[in-house]
Chains A and B, each alone.
Chain A
Amino acid sequence: MPRRADLESILLIGSGPIVIGQAAEFDYSGTQAVKALKEEGYRVILVNSNPATIMTDPELADRTYIEPVTPDWVAKVIEQERPDALLPTMGGQTALNVAMALVEDGTLERYGVELIGADERAIRVAEDRKEFGAAMERLGLAVPRGAVVSSNDEALAHIEEIGYPAIIRPSFTLGGTGGGVAYNVEEYEVLIKRALDLSPVHSVLVERSVLGWKEFELEVMRDHRDNVVIVCSIENMDPMGVHTGDSITVAPAMTLTDREYQVMRDAAIAIIREVGVDAGGCNIQFALDPRTGEMLTIEMNPRVSRSSALASKATGFPIARIGTKLAVGYTLDELPNDITKTTPASFEPVLDYVVAKFPRFAFEKFPTADFRLTTQMKSVGESMAIGRTFKEAFQKGLRSLEIDRPGWVVGATLADDRLESDDRDDIKVALRTPTPERIFQIKRAMIAGIPVDDIAELTGIDPWFLSQLQELLDAERRFAEAAEVDAALMREMKRLGFSDKQLGDLRGTSEQDLRERRWAFGIHPDYKVVDTCAGEFPSATPYYYSSYEEENESEPLGSDGVVILGSGPNRIGQGVEFDYCCVRAGLSFRELGYRTIMINSNPETVSTDFDVSDKLYFEPLTLEDVLEIVRLEQPKGVVVQLGGQTPLKLARGLEAAGIPILGTGPESIDLAEDRRRFDALARKLGVTQPPNGTVVTLEEAIAVATDVGYPVLVRPSYVLGGRAMEIVYDEPALRGYFAKAARVSPEHPVLIDRFLEDAFEADVDAIADGEQCVIGGVMQHIEDAGVHSGDSACVLPPYLLSERAIDEMREHTRAFAKALGVVGVINVQFAVQDGVVYVLEVNPRASRTLPFVSKATGAPLAKLAAGVMIGKRLAELGFTSEPAIPYVAVKEAVFPFSKLPNVDVILGPEMRSTGEVMGVADSFGMAFAKAQIAAGDALPLQGTVFVTVNDNDKATVLPIVRRFHEMGFRIRATEGTARYLRQRGVPSERVLKIHEGRPNPVDLIVSGAVQLLINTPLGKLTQRDDYLIRRTAIHHRVPYITTMSAASAACDAVLALKSRDGSVRCLQEWYQLARALLAEAPQSGVTRRPSGKATAHG
């Protein structure tokens, strides 16, 4: 049956900001869905609050709403657009939950919107633990023994039959949020309480632990004619008990016989039928007892997922795209296999390679977080690698992670591997607990001579995987001990996936020397095609991976080709925003007549969709891997400025190898990053910098800090996302920083800057063609200086900066662009203190804010960057003046605190946010309100504001609290603050501090008596109190504010929300407004201020 003709417009819901458990994979699926629907001629309406995504590029959907992904706001879009159908399966759990809410509140029925892809019943059966259990029972499939409970009493009533350890899973949450394992009644009650709180339906599944069982996943698709295919099987190397998002996973399944696999396949088909997903895909998880083969069904997700993105990249079968086509009426056999083009999609991909996926963690950002891996996901990104064998994929995947491990190598210190000693008993103890470092502890265990079977027993990892690792270690030893490395030995090692760096280290020589020796032997990788069919049919899609084999299948593109280096695994500080830049530029190169070659290792992303480039190399982003591809392709040049730090780090090496870098050269990048050279440049240009110095010893540091004056900002050079960056207020603290912070050496100096207190910060994104530099946008940070720019909310256009200061920033930006010879994008960070503009940082590369600026203004900066990189002038590209917008866009950061207990939420110079959202409106207050709602912190319109601030902030908070009071809020505060407020005419009630007695602030929050929390750190004595209050607020989903400027902005937002109903408008219409404005005043080259309220700060 062809596409449904009775539908004309379709609403697609995105997944909102990147959070742990819901990341770039939904940009990938959503983008595929938009494209698939457009192809069929439907009018596509998209709602997603995340501006960093490709899917929200205004050229993709017909109507792009960057609005909060909540039932209320999506309902407004529905009311305005009147779509015929809603596709809820492409935006993760968020989209599914919003869709269900819209079903339940009658919105869909009221506006005649049909749910396609998965219907209400199917979603309910799959998501509701009780219904799912009943469905499995009907099929005769076993599920872990358990019970669904909705109170602590109920939970206690069931625990006896279930037994410890017990697994706790809240219903309707994503990434296993709120889940856990309880080993005793105390833990059990704590976990039950948290899970009940976090489950939107207050229902929790408690079940028998199958810790240590083997874990498998199948990706299944079904069409409305009941054709079913299994797209991929995935085996988790880490056994049950570790969330699959935190597991090392492998495709296809490695240790299943056909008999067991077919039993699982039959079960999967029966499940998708029983649940009733009749036009789309789902992911089903199984556990297998390694001793008996007993199989249990764990869960099913009736939508695309992280695993389906992985499966799509692992097989070449585009699940989201096909799922979308099924949702609009096609059957599998009517759709072509996009890779072969000649065979239909109704088949099951077969792999002639092995895929390994590795989680990327960010515990270095959260030193107090619990690093043990459990059923609640904690990783922030992932890498994937393809090799012909498991060993090859395994090593490539580890070096793709970019965690300073060139493969499966132990850390430089025991601490790097989270070990206190390499005593066999200590290692054995460590192996029992899954952590990010366990895979390296395993190597130390093998080195210490612990047998594979013992390691298997301790870790629950199948001995097959461990024996593979043992073979790697054995090979390594042979290589290290060989009298001479001949061609055969070199090739053997490369075939096992060893990197040049690893091999160099084993032979005590440099990576470069090792590589030259390898090249002298004529040993280079071949590139094989991912073709869904193991070579059975010719394939039309150029999707490649490297392997040391005998036949290269990749035809070089030569000077038509442009290589774009992607950004690797997502991590804090480097996420989907860079993928947006790479993809957008790639499309632009194609429009300009070039052919794009994408290199990336991140399976979640749009950039690793074989559809967006002319060629895709799914490869680690290391110098070795990139050099080999470039050697084959001989492209016009390589783009390094769009993928964040990952490609930048390779720029020098590529240049040294004589490879042309497109756009701004490595020399300029170095100049901007090298503090001493940059100081000289700033002085030459007459730009003020905070007083600073670069040091390599503690003594130097003390001298510099004394000289520039405390507080100082200290950080290692070459940082990403403010890693190890701190504000230090005195010498003891400085000593403390040097004691715990990274290795300081002449190669790794530490930068010390005078910290500008009470300054405003601003970011400028611009583009230059070598001659002209045009500002894309000036953003003012809402948080005070000292909060990492990636963590601060920001507003475009600025609302509290003087026109003079803004002009000065524009001037400085243009001067830097010219002095650095920037061809492409440039980002400059400024601080303004007492009217003086300081430059903090210049980045001649794509910034984290670039997609936000592009979405806010409609100026496609990444697209333009591609143009200038191949020699076009900005004038030729039609971009000659800074876009003026008659509205306000606010970007807000989103944090992983609810996923990471024991972490304080106070913002600082170390970036900790995982994602971002954008709010657009005609006033600052409304834009900020939308951003808050989108970030999951809906501001209250009435109730109680609880205020507790330090003395410095009291004067600042006074007018803010007064406004809350005037809007009818009840004000409560701790003693000092309350007295201060009362004395100045703001009625406020005193609340006891925690150490003063009860009821204390925590009690108030827990009992729902506080709707908004304004809290700044009070001082050492009450640190623990503050921390408890903030954590309690997070736990009970009470919005909390930790800076004065954010409090002021929140006040504006509440006022906006109280005075009128928020309206929705798509980007395309906002831009039309901006163009209309420009037409009225064509000479206008600068940003106009909207009429919205601009509140005086402080």
Chain B
Amino acid sequence: MATTQPAYVLLEDGAWFPGTARHSFPHTPGEVVFTTNLTGYQEVFTDPSYLGQIVVMTATMIGNYGTNDEDMESGRPQVTAVVVRELARQHSSWRATGALDAWLAERGIPIIEGIDTRRLTRHIRSAGAMRGIVALGEQPSDEARRALDASPRMEGLDLASRATVPDEREVGDGSARFHVVAYDFGMKRNILRILTSLGCRVTVVPATTPAARVQELGPDGVFLSNGPGDPAAVRYVLPEIRHLADTGLPTFGICLGHQLLALAFGGETDKLPYGHRGGNHPVRDFQTERVLITSQNHGFAVRGTSKVVSGTKALEVTHRNLNDDTVEGVRHLELPAFGVQYHPEASPGPHDAQGHFREFVQALDSQRLSRY
């Protein structure tokens, strides 16, 4: 451990948490959030929804099974930095191709270990998610404080345009049964894996793609992906979503995509105090009255009470979180458009909600039938 050097996490309210780092790194600011996933660190780190965030893992032993090429949710780590209690020095898994430590270091992502992550988590829980910075040193320096102050706030931040694909690209078999256009705001790979496995060819388009271009592509339905940042900052895409949904094209949104769908029909979103991040959130499905254990990763949520979505009569609430009663799903009362706040694609997390993809494909199917 000769190379270990002191490092710390500093929050904008002045609280700071000492740890150590095995590699040097520059001051790195970001929004500090925690996730309670017990497994799936590689999926978390590569999930574009975490763009711009310093992620605290509440699970204490990270890196045990190394890294591999399969558990990637995008082409690279998306998190700004990682904070853990203990980073494995040795890993073990028949699928591993490398160590987490080296994998992050090679990609320039700082990781601090030895932190009392529970204290940090409890701090965020009571004070709310906030900006922070990871830096080397025994204790916070003025330079780090200045860098933190100069960093952007998450509210009003459009990160989707950073996370999206630069150009249209097509995924899947040309002979697939359905064609879906997916707005990419930072889409996880597993969404594509599932859609293609269910018989969809997917054209992934940039966040700024006009509705007219989508119509040109002639899809059977539209998918609105997950992604990072404040949904209110992605207003430019709302008219396009509204237009496409109004044509009667089946529309399915996940996470940020779900928030955008709600906003497009006049709904409103709020920033949650410290967000939902983990793989154990109970969600009630009003239709079946069953509880789904869901994978979640969001800092904003659609506003609503009981079944009513604030600001619009076009939508109704279909799912709620049993922990804090926030809105977890909405559906258009007339159009085949729906969204869920959680992640049915899981990866990481439980598969309880994967039925939503089938639901979407069924909508594509009946839409096509009605067209003929």
Contact = CB atoms under 8 A, between A and B. Distances in A.
Interface stretch (A261-269, A377-385, A785-793, A951-959): A261-269
Nearest to A265: B350
A291 interface: yes
A293 B95 contact: yes
A462 B92 contact: yes
Interface in B100-119: 116-119
Interface stretch (A170-178, A347-355, A636-644): A347-355
A292 interface: yes
B94 interface: yes
A140 to B, nearest CB: 15
Interface in B288-303: 289-291, 293
Contacts of B278: 350, 534, 536
Contacts of B290: 225-227
Contacts of B39: 253, 256-258, 261
Contacts of A471: 89
Contacts of B68: 257
B58 interface: yes
Nearest to A289: B94
A257 B97 CA distance: 13
Interface in A851-878: none
B139 interface: no
A252 interface: yes
Residue in A343, A354, A388, A534 whose Cβ sees the most chain B Cβ within 10 Å: A534
Contact of B61 (A254, A332, A343): A254
Contacts of A538: 125
B60 A464 contact: no
Interface in B78-104: 85-86, 88-95
Contacts of B59: 252, 350-352, 534
Given A258-B71, A551-B118, A344 B347 contact: no
B349 to A, nearest CB: 7
Interface stretch (B161-169, B225-233, B279-287, B326-334): B279-287
Interface in A149-190: none
A873 to B, nearest CB: 46
B348 A333 contact: no
B116 A550 contact: yes
B37 interface: yes
A275 B57 CA distance: 36
B90 A535 contact: no
A533 interface: yes
B116 A352 contact: no
B113 to A, nearest CB: 10
Contacts of A262: 346, 348-351
B245 to A, nearest CB: 32
Interface string A528-556: 10000111111000000000011101000
Contacts of A266: 351
A388 B19 CA distance: 15
A259 B190 CA distance: 12
B95 A549 contact: no
B349 A258 contact: yes
B25 interface: no
A298 to B, nearest CB: 19
Given A258-B348, A533-B36, A551 B122 contact: yes
Contact of B60 (A258, A259, A293, A354): A354
Contacts of A344: 282, 291, 322-323
Interface string A273-294: 0000000000000000011110
Contacts of B90: 452, 463-464, 467-468, 470
Contact of A349 (B40, B71, B91, B280): B280
User: Would you call the interface of chain A mostly helix, strand, loop, or mixed?
Assistant: loop
Nearest to A331: B291
Interface in B34-87: 34, 36-40, 42-43, 58-61, 64-65, 68, 70-71, 85-86
Contacts of A390: 61
Contacts of A898: none
Contact of A537 (B34, B125, B289): B125
B58 A352 contact: yes
A625 to B, nearest CB: 20
Contacts of B60: 352-354, 388-389
Interface in A347-399: 347-354, 388-390
A467 B347 CA distance: 28
User: Would you call the interface of chain B mostly helix, strand, loop, or mixed?
Assistant: loop
A988 interface: no
A347 B122 contact: no
B120 to A, nearest CB: 9
A965 to B, nearest CB: 68
B121 interface: yes
A389 B293 contact: no
A265 to B, nearest CB: 6
Interface in A465-489: 467-468, 470-471
A350 B118 contact: no
A263 to B, nearest CB: 9
B293 A229 contact: yes
Contacts of A225: 289-290
Given A255-B64, A388-B85, A390-B61, A348 B40 contact: no
A15 interface: no
A346 interface: yes
A348 B119 contact: no
A533 B116 CA distance: 16
B357 interface: no
Nearest to B347: A258
A266 B349 CA distance: 11
Contacts of A464: 64-65, 88, 90-92
A348 B94 contact: no
Contacts of B351: 262, 265-266
A262 to B, nearest CB: 6
B118 A528 contact: yes
A388 B291 CA distance: 31
Contacts of A537: 125, 323
Contacts of A550: 17-18, 116, 119
B94 A354 contact: no
A870 B180 CA distance: 75
A256 B42 CA distance: 12
A291 B42 CA distance: 21
B65 A257 contact: yes
B142 to A, nearest CB: 23
A452 B34 CA distance: 34
Contacts of B347: 258-259
B323 A347 contact: yes
B276 to A, nearest CB: 9
A517 B351 CA distance: 52
Given A332-B291, A348-B293, A258 B116 contact: no
A874 B347 CA distance: 64
Interface in B113-156: 116-119, 121-122, 125
A701 B140 CA distance: 69
Interface string B317-341: 0000011000000000000000000
Contact of A333 (B40, B95, B279, B282): B282
A760 B40 CA distance: 65
B61 A348 contact: no
Given A262-B346, A389-B85, 10 more contacts: A230-B293, A257-B42, A262-B351, A265-B350, A347-B280, A347-B322, A348-B350, A351-B59, A467-B92, A470-B90
13 contacts: A254-B64, A256-B39, A256-B65, A257-B39, A262-B350, A352-B85, A352-B117, A352-B118, A388-B85, A535-B118, A535-B122, A551-B122, A553-B122
Interface of B: 17-18, 34, 36-40, 42-43, 58-61, 64-65, 68, 70-71, 85-86, 88-95, 116-119, 121-122, 125, 278-282, 284, 289-291, 293, 322-323, 346-351
Instruction: Give me the 9 closest cross-chain CB pairs, A-B, nearest first.
Output: A258-B40, A467-B90, A534-B58, A258-B348, A464-B92, A551-B119, A348-B280, A535-B121, A258-B39
